[in-house]
Structure 1
Amino acid sequence: MTTASFTNAVDSSAATERGISLYRAIWRWHFFAGLLVIPFMISLALTGGLYLFNDEIDDTVFAYRNVVAAGAERMSPSAIVATAVESVPGSVAVSYRTPAGVDRSARVTVGIGKARMLVFVDPYTGSILDRVAPSEEFNQVVEDLHSLDYFGKSVETIIEIVAGFAILLVFTGIYLWWPRQQTGGVLTVRGTPARRVFWRDLHAVTGIGAGLLIVFLAFSGLLWSGYWGATVNGKLTAMGLGYPAALWDEVPTSSKVSTDVLPRANWLMENAPVPASSGGADEPVGIDRAVAIADAEGMLPGYELAIPLDETAVYTAAIFPADLARERTIHIDQYSGKPLVDISFGDYPAFGKAIEWSINVHKGQEWGRVNQLLMLAACISIVLVSLSAVIMWWKRRPAGRIGVPPMPPRRSVYVGLWLMAIVFGLAFPLTGISIVVMVIVDQLLMRVAPVRRRLS
């Protein structure tokens, strides 16, 4: 009886030590991951929350260039384009965005060499409402800041690492939040803002409440990342799960893709090839006829029409609205006026539709105002979780020290965590590499700490 009790006590003690080791190891991972990405998470949440309302911003702050008084008769597309080109000496028209409604302006993108300029034109009077470089347009600046593209393509890869760490933070956070005899800090917040426990509970409760939304935002955001997103896009297309490549089998294609001719394309279509015009003895149909053809095919007003810049190029009409059912791209032969490729949301394979749907939800466009407010709530939660983490850490840290969570009693627990890191790294390579670096640094700290204590 005594032996049995002693054995049970030893087993219980070992299990407790293993539990403490795992908890501390995951706590350290959670701490280091948060330390790395909190500034980026706050930036993503603030810019993302602002971009959710880009249409509202255009219709209020920038109404002077987007909203016009409806007149009796619109100018022809060719006249609008000519007016825009004349306003920027030495330029040529690159694309034309048709008015989205009777009280909306037209927009012409003109270019001088590789430089581009957006020219907003009143389609009734021909007045130039505004001229702005695409990179300086407000909503584009917000989007570029959100993706870090504003700082260059090399910096943009950080987004993939941050998104992967966000997913890691949610799952490690769930483990740390999981109730272990405590009654507070699970669904309620204890104390007052003067106490650390208040910020700990606020961090935990907010994180668990918004966890699924944060994972969704991070995963759907990964689709835009330079490495992971591009790799997934290419593999889906190769497996027949991306854009329907068979639609291009019967038409000649150029070396260009959608993003080479359009200011904006959706995720699934951005790398789809652009067909080539047939050429021959026919005269070009011209922009007025191209617009009439696109309108007759049922394009939603407000679509962008890429204008051919050489003899083999095509007119490309495309629109990617909030209503996915109206999403469409048509490539029109510039000589015959024949639609060479006509693809809409209904033509996408099921997996492609699911991806486009998730992106639409990410951008707050799927269920109108409800979707916007849901994503805004997620953005606010991310800011709240991040700031509460910083305050909680600041109140906990010893004076003059970083305040890293204590090391696990059993170092063997890291074997399992290494396996987790490898699996996570296979799914998200850049984040996986960052995790490996983080674990190596942590291992070095564990070896240096005892030496420093002996020397002190």
Structure 2
Amino acid sequence: MPNSSSKATERQNGANGAKGTNGFYRAVWRWHFYAGLFVLPFIVLLAITGGAYLFRDEIDNFVYADLKQVTPTAETPLPYSAQITNALALQDGKVVKLTTPISPTASTEVTIADASGARHAVYVNPYTGQALGELGDRDTIMWTIRRLHSLAEFGTFTNALIEIVGGWTILLVATGIYLWWPKRTDGSSRLAIRGKPANRRWWRDSHAIVGLFAGFFIVFLATTGMPWSVFWGKYANQFANGTPTGYPSGVRVDVPLSTIPMIDAFGQTGWTTENAPLPQSVDTAAQAIGIDAATSTFNALGMVPGYAVSMPSGERGVYSASVYPDDLSLQHVIHLDQYSGKPLIDMTYADYGPLGKAMEWGINVHMGQEFGLANQLFMLAICASLIFMAVSAGVMWWKRRPSGQMGVPPLPRDMRKVYGVTAILAVGGIIFPLVGLSMIIILALDMLLVVRPRLQLRNA
């Protein structure tokens, strides 16, 4: 009389019809199962935090309305030097950055480093000069959400999981499409959802169809999230910025360059320019032009509202302004000599190389910026589909697994099918090395803990 395990296997094979007897299908299903087992918890976290971060400005402006929102009471704002003076009266220290108001109803943000080096964001009413209050720099709800989304909140090691999760997500979509592709033997449409939510079939069909329609965009999100990974993203950035494909000769100008990258000066920059070194001022014997003259020059050179100004660091430092608005064409980076006010580097999105443009466009869409509210809502729908697919995968596994067992899909009788599928998936491991390393670990554990005992049992 067959045991419960064999009955479960029969149910699996029956549910899949002819596919269940296909060794290659079983091998793909096995990798799909392991990929889901590893990444689904992370996908849920990324989908929830990513969905929230799409509306970062709306949420922050609502939560911190008393700090970030003002009512215009004059035709023109006060000089930035006066606003900085009032900010320093609230928080003592050194001004390291000024973020200009993005709209007439927005406050000015002055970033100040105290004696211990800790940074504080002081918000100032640009019309009255009143310091409205302060927060720890990057202590807003949305900065916390952003760090959770990148897993940076948990340290460098967990941040490396972004690359692994992204790579495995791409493999999940590829293997999932293969598992869906064969025709049903009962003649029903492959786009039909059969049964009711109480049945595993309903969950399986819903999982497959949602994945089919959302799959391309899921791969897009996984791919455009890779630039933030600690390994692949780092070396992709180095390649882009070491060739004309990234930022162009506009930053390779005949001026002295420092060893300070833009990301250290601003804390947040565009992907293409984050490692670009700041230039250095030349005429150190002259008088510095000051923040009011610097912002006036930035405005004259076409900087749009909402740009951030990094203050000169030392006597060779520069006034650096950067802005990364929703409209990619308005991205702009300018570095001014702090003494002469001369632009040392003036670069826009149009100056990027093809790889830099492609990366910035992908990141902009990923963050829900490029196409306004429609972009936000569409990406929110993709995040919701990711959560549904993770939940439906869990329900399917729970309904299918034999009692008291893990429910790993059955092994093909021909082990060459397993090796063949592994070799195909290994291409992704070569493109994304951390994914390849995790694949080797999973394969070793599978062979040691699952395959070897089953083969011994089969040969007994």
Q: How far did 1:126 drift?
A: 2.2
Contact 1:242 1:349 (8 Å CA) reproduced: yes
- Determine the structure 2 residue equivalent to 1:24: 26
Q: Taking structure 1 as reference, are residues 434 and 387 closer, same or farther at Cα in structure 2, changes over 3 Å only?
A: same
- Post-superposition Cα deviations, 1:77-108, rounded to whole Å, max 9, x if no partner, equal 0111121122113x110000111122110000
SS in 1 for 2:22: helix
CA distance in 1: counterparts of 2:356 and 2:316, whole angstroms: 30
| Aligned-residue offset at 1:418 | 3.2
Secondary structure of the structure 2 residue equivalent to 1:132: strand
Shift, 1:414, TM fit: 2.5
Pairing partner for 1:181 from 171, 180, 184: 184
1:191-226 CA-to-partner distances (Å, cap 9, x unmatched) read 111111111111111111100000000000011111
Q: Is 2:108 aligned against 1:100? A: no
Distance 1:65 1:185, change over 3 A: farther
Q: Find the counterpart in structure 1 of residue 452 from structure 2.
A: 447
Check the 8 A contact 1:328/1:345 in 2, yes or no.
Answer: yes
CA separation of 1:100 and 1:246: change in aligned 2, threshold 3 A? closer
Aligned to 1:146: 149
Count of matched residue pairs: 439
Query: Using the alignment, how far apart are the partners of 2:117 and 2:457 within structure 1?
Result: 58
Q: Aligned ranges for residues 68-147 of structure 1 at < 5 Å? A: 68-72=70-74, 73-89=76-92, 91-112=93-114, 113-147=116-150
Inter-partner Cα distance in structure 2 for 1:37 and 1:418: 18
1:87 is aligned with what amino acid?
L
Q: How far apart are 1:351 and its partner, in Å?
A: 2.5
Q: Distance in 1 between matches of 2:435 and 2:395?
A: 26
Residues 419-428 or 200-209, more deviating: 419-428
1:334 aligned to 2:334? Answer: no
Q: Which amino acid aligns with 1:103?
A: T
Show the counterpart of 1:274. Answer: 278
Q: Tell me which of 159, 163, 173 is aligned to 2:162.
A: 159
How far residue 279 of structure 1 moved from its aligned partner, in angstroms, is 3.0
- The answer for the alignment partner of 2:304 in structure 1 is 300
Once the two structures are TM-superposed, the CA of residue 59 in structure 1 deviates from its matched residue by: 3.0
Task: Tell me how far apart the structure 2 counterparts of residues 330 and 19 of structure 1 sit (CA, whole Å).
Answer: 63
Structure 1 range deviating more: 177-186 or 35-44: 177-186
Superposed CA offset, 1:131-184 (max 9, x none)? 111232111111100000111122100010000000000000000001333445
Q: Could you tell me how far 1:130 is from its partner in structure 2?
A: 2.8
2:228 is paired with a residue whose SS is coil
State the alpha-carbon separation in 2 of the partners of residues 407 and 110 from structure 1. 61
Code of the aligned partner of 1:102:
P
- Name 1:67's counterpart in structure 2: 69
One-letter amino acid of the structure 2 residue matched with residue 350 of structure 1: P
Equivalences for residues 323-402 of structure 1 within 5 A: 323-402=327-406
One-letter code of the match for 1:49? G
| Partner amino acid, structure 2, of 1:311 | E
TM-superposed deviation, 1:450: 4.3
In structure 2, relative to structure 1, the CA distance for the partners of 1:305 and 1:330 (3 Å cut) is same
Distance 2:21 2:219 in 1: 26
CA deviation after TM superposition for structure 1 residue 415, in Å: 2.8
Distance in 2 (alpha carbons) for counterparts of 1:118 and 1:59? 15
Looking at structure 1, the residues matched to 282 and 46 of structure 2 have their Cα atoms a distance apart, in angstroms, of 45
Aligned CA distance change for structure 1 residues 17 and 394 (closer, same or farther; 3 Å): closer
Q: Which amino acid aligns with 2:411?
A: M
Between 220-229 and 272-281, the greater mean CA deviation after superposition: 272-281
Contact 1:185 1:202 in 2 (8 A): no
- Residue of structure 1 equivalent to 2:13: none
Is the alpha carbon distance of 1:385 and 1:184 closer, same or farther for their aligned partners in structure 2, counting shifts above 3 Å? Answer: farther
The one-letter code sitting in structure 2 at the alignment partner of 1:25 is A
Task: Provide the rounded CA distance (Å) in 1 between the counterparts of 2:419 and 2:402.
Answer: 30
Identical positions, percent? 43
CA shift at 1:281, angstroms? 2.2
Question: Contact 1:149–1:155 (CA<8 Å) still a contact in 2?
Answer: yes
Contact 2:284–2:316 (8 Å) recurs in 1: no
Which whole-Å CA distance do the structure 2 matches of 1:426 and 1:454 have between them? 35
Q: TM-score scaled to structure 2, two decimals?
A: 0.92
Q: Do the aligned partners of 2:50 and 2:383 also contact (CA within 8 Å) in 1?
A: yes
Question: What whole-Å deviation, never above 9, does each CA across 1:216-250 have from its counterpart, x for those lacking one?
Answer: 00000011111101111111222221111453331
Identify if the C-alpha distance between structure 1 residues 17 and 127 changes in structure 2 by more than 3 Å, giving closer, same or farther: closer
Q: Counterpart in 2 of 1:252?
A: 256
Structure 1 alignment gaps of length 5 or more:
1-15
Q: d(CA) in 1 for partners of 2:265 and 2:389?
A: 41
CA distance in 2, matches of 1:313, 1:245: 21
Name the SS of the counterpart of 2:415 in structure 1. Answer: coil
**Matched residue type, 1:422:** A
Of 181, 193, 212, which aligns to 1:208? 212
Q: Determine whether 1:322 maps to 2:317.
A: no
Distance (whole Å) between structure 2 residues aligned to residue 230 and residue 266 of structure 1 = 14
> Among 403, 422, 431, which residue is 2:426 paired with?
422
Distance 1:160 1:362 in 2: 16
Coordinate RMSD, CA, aligned: 1.8
Q: Distance in 1 between matches of 2:209 and 2:180?
A: 8
Distance 2:109 2:250 in 1: 33
Shift, 1:270, TM fit = 0.3
